[in-house]
Amino acid sequence: MDYYNKSEKEVLSSFNSALNGLSNAEARKRLAKYGFNELKETYKTPALTIFLSQFKSFIVYILIAAIAISLLVKQNIDALVIAIILLLNAVLGFIQEYKAEKSMEAIKKFLSLKAKVIRENKEMIIPARELVPGDMIVLEEGSKIPADSRLMESYSLRIDESTLTGESIPVNKSINVLQGKKQIADQKNMVFSSTNVVSGKGKAVITSTAESTEIGKIATLIQKTEKELTPLQKQLKIISKQLGIITIAICFLIFILVALKGMTLADSFIIGVALAVAAIPEGLPAIVTISLALGTQRMIKRNVLIKKLPSVETLGSTTVICVDKTGTLTLNKMTVTNIHINNMAINTENKIKKDSDIELLFKIGVFCNNAVLDHKLTLGDPTEAALLSVARRIGIEKNELLKKYPRLHEMPFSSERKIMSTINNVNNRKIMFTKGAPDIILKLCSKIYLNGKVRPLTKELKSRMLKANEEFAGKALRVLGFAYKEADNYNENNLIFVGLQGMIDPPRKDVKQSIKRCETAGIKVVMITGDHKLTAEAIAKELNITGKTMTGEELDKIKDLSKVVENIAIYARVNPIHKLKIVEALKKKGHVVAMTGDGVNDAPALKKSDIGIAIGSGTDVSKEASDMVLMDDNFSSIVNAVEEGRGIYNNITKFISYLLSSNIGEVLVIFFALIIGLPLPLLALQILWLNLVTDGLPALALSIDPIEKDTMKTKPRKKNENMLNKKRMTMLFLIGFIFAAGTIFLFKRSLSISYIYATTIAFTSVVIFEMFNVLNFRSETNSIFKSKIFNNKYLVLAIVSSLLLQLLVIYTPLNSIFKTVELPLTAWILIVAVSSSVLIIVEILKIFFRNKAIQ
């Protein structure tokens, strides 16, 4: 119900309440009916369920089948190694997901407070959770609103609603009945749960508690909003299924071939296990997880905290960043940027020239001020804090000023008067200082202070001041006028006008450049704010955010936002439902959407977006609903994170391609060997060793390859882009054929010596092939000989480690487990000569592709 459209009497009647409050007995009845003023938590997923969910993957299913088959044919070591891999991967995934959804707990913190309530005509303090609809609450400066309420009394009441609406300027409240439909930010006679009283006092009757409040509705939205799979997760899911289908098909074909040759069922099972192990990169899930984890560590150094690992690569495909203006693009700190004095407009963003006239203007702003500006803490109205801050720049401190010229009386600001006055003792004279809306102030002035002298305020001078006010307002500045007089009484007439001060919540210094980098990278920046249209447009213009503007009221009227969403760059005067609607419309158009925010109002959109980015100084709710947190509140950190995300995705593509090319080679080695009537060239445990150690370490090193310099000069990859496109798959199979041909050649040639010697040759050949092959994937187009081979020291270390490990399983007692024998130097020379063919052939193909691209 829209209680802002009803009078105080009508609202009280609706709840059968009164100004002297409910009785304790009635409050108990209502508490039983409505429940506690707290948010209910939905069902939590048990830890065991989260752990078991890690095994829901096509690759995992096949590996579990491989374990079962291995146990059936008494290949216990193979079964144990595969089981350890699966368990390790499950533990890594479990750790990442266990602390996931805490949005509800964060929101509940807002309601964990005390409240002053009137019951049986007595003021008392009770836990806020015990409040009920119809309760009369008392509002005082510094208190937090415990529930949505309709104001009954308001005395200079101003509320900070930035956490709910995004509007940085405190809202003046009144008890006046409002007409027509109003947005939350325009409901001046209502106060809302989780917002704060900046100044003044009042009384209000509670209209909604718990889930029925505006913040409660947000909590419901958060719970109903489900996260979708990231692009990488979708890609890996597709790859897993494709590999599974291919594996089953090959195993079935081999089973038929083996059966036709009259081999036993046990032998066919062993071959099936070997093929399953060869086809599937068992280390792939673990390496992807480790790669993303290493990426998050690098991002921490760039002031970005990643909460959910897959978010790293999602950044790389982001096409739109929806930016909450307050606290993200701006400092969330009102700052005086312009003053008008002595018929001159002066920019105060640079050094301020101190003179007696400017000093008088600033002193009035300090006298007529109830904010506290400490070096560590700022309390009170941000507008008044801005006046203290600009005065401090020329050496005027409030405490020192009031000690010398103490305040005698105050006539507070109200939304009806639109001015505030104080009377101070200045050298034993009573002086009135007044600040307020410039048009109101000028009506009360009969004189003007110009160049150190008091002169009559003529129509021409008044017109100039009003024009100056309009010019400031046109820049979306909040403008205040300042005046004084000798106070013979409390009458605020015949004042002496001094000047104007214009202030704004200014943009962060590095944001403009960051937005330019986003545009170069093909990423659209969209501003979303609870502020007025003019303010939003002024900030957008300064930051070079171009596009049309749409207000929350206009959003309510449009049925399908997706039809026009591409043209809109600025959304003003919006509420949480609108933000969610914007994200949904952009996603409907195929965009990968990142949403930044710091307030409670941002949480549903943060969760619905492809990647939610919370501001470090923001609310717990926004942080818990997000995928990543900007620890330094710096918009440029988002751009750094996007660059890092793109680089990580490219590296993931590199090592997945490397792993698959190696595994295709291993499958083809076995497949072709059986086709031409040769025995198994590789044993199951040897294949597992290849996948986990000798090709796993270089793959992991590829995941931390240095990011290429032109990463942020290309457009985002398409959302549904296939990681394994036709060109890449053709290259992978070609490499696999080179692997197979070289290995089978060496294997067949060595069979005349002994089978165990031949399998050792084949085993070692595949390892050396992989060491040359990893160099191919440093770049898909550039020659390895033109790049800096040693700029990835981890890759060099991985290659050396893999070679040493191979020597370990050949020349130590481990050879009995891996069924290998020692190889002579001549065998190594032949293996290296044949294996290097994979690097030489691919280098020739890269030359061909580069020439074709030039043509």
Q: Is 395 left (phi over 0), alpha (psi -120 to 50) or beta?
A: left
For residues 20, 25, 29, 34, the Cα torsion angle rounded to the nearest 10 degrees is: 40
Q: State the distance between the two ends of the chain, measured CA to CA, in whole angstroms.
A: 68
d(CA 205, CA 18): 9
pLDDT band at residue 717 using 50, 70 and 90 as cut-offs: confident
Position 518 pLDDT exceeds 60: yes
Which CATH architecture does the domain made up of 229-304+652-854 adopt?
Answer: Up-down Bundle (1.20)
In 276-319, where do the E strands start and end?
304-306
Segment among 57-61, 541-545, 657-661, 715-719 with least mean pLDDT: 57-61
Segment among 73-87, 604-618, 814-828 with least mean pLDDT: 73-87
Total number of residues shown for the chain: 855
Which pLDDT belongs to residue 273? 60
Among 249-253, 319-323, 564-568, top mean pLDDT goes to 564-568
Considering only CA atoms, which of 150, 158, 140 is closest in space to residue 412?
Answer: 158
Which pLDDT belongs to residue 431? 96
Cβ neighbours for 424, distance < 8 A, ≥ 6 positions apart: 367, 402, 405, 406, 407, 408, 430, 431, 433
Which pLDDT belongs to residue 295? 75
Which pLDDT belongs to residue 855? 42
How many other C-beta atoms can be found within 10 angstroms of the C-beta atom of residue 714? 12
Segment among 185-194, 355-364, 676-685, 718-727 with least mean pLDDT: 718-727
pLDDT band at residue 854 using 50, 70 and 90 as cut-offs: very low
Position 528 pLDDT exceeds 80: yes
Question: From the candidates 135, 160, 324, 531, which is the catalytic residue?
Answer: 324
Segment among 56-70, 325-339, 533-547 with least mean pLDDT: 56-70
d(CA 668, CA 846): 23
d(CA 769, CA 803): 11
3-state secondary structure 488-527: CCCCCCCEEEEEEEEEECCECCCHHHHHHHHHHCCCEEEE
> Among residues of the chain, what percentage have pLDDT more than 90?
38
CATH topology of domain 3-34+106-224: 2.70.150
Position 351 pLDDT exceeds 90: no
Residue spans in the chain of domains classed CATH 1.20.1110.10: 229-304+652-854
More confident residue, 809 or 194: 809
Tokens representing 271 are 């071959």
Considering only CA atoms, which of 655, 649, 600 is closest in space to residue 624?
Answer: 600
Position 40 pLDDT exceeds 70: no
Tokens representing 257 are 């071939």
Position 98 pLDDT exceeds 60: no
> Among residues of the chain, what percentage have pLDDT more than 70?
82
The yes/no answer on whether domain 335-504 falls in CATH 3.40.1110.10 is yes
Among 170-179, 407-416, 451-460, 692-701, top mean pLDDT goes to 451-460
The distance of Cα 547 from the centroid of its chain, to the nearest Å, equals 23
Q: Average pLDDT over the chain, rounded to whole?
A: 83
User: What average pLDDT score do residues 508-530 get?
Assistant: 89
**148 is annotated as an active-site residue:** no
Residues 99-137 pLDDT 10s: 434 433 444 454 347 788 999 988 888 888 899 999 999
d(CA 647, CA 650): 5
More confident residue, 201 or 423: 423
Residue spans in the chain of domains classed CATH 3.40.1110.10: 335-504
User: What average pLDDT score do residues 250-274 get?
Assistant: 64
Taking CA atoms, 800 is separated from 391, 698, 771, 807, in Å, by: 65, 10, 9, 11
Tokens representing 81 are 């190694």
Residue spans in the chain of domains classed CATH 2.70.150.10: 3-34+106-224
The yes/no answer on whether domain 314-331+508-640 falls in CATH 3.40.50.1000 is yes
d(CA 117, CA 140): 12
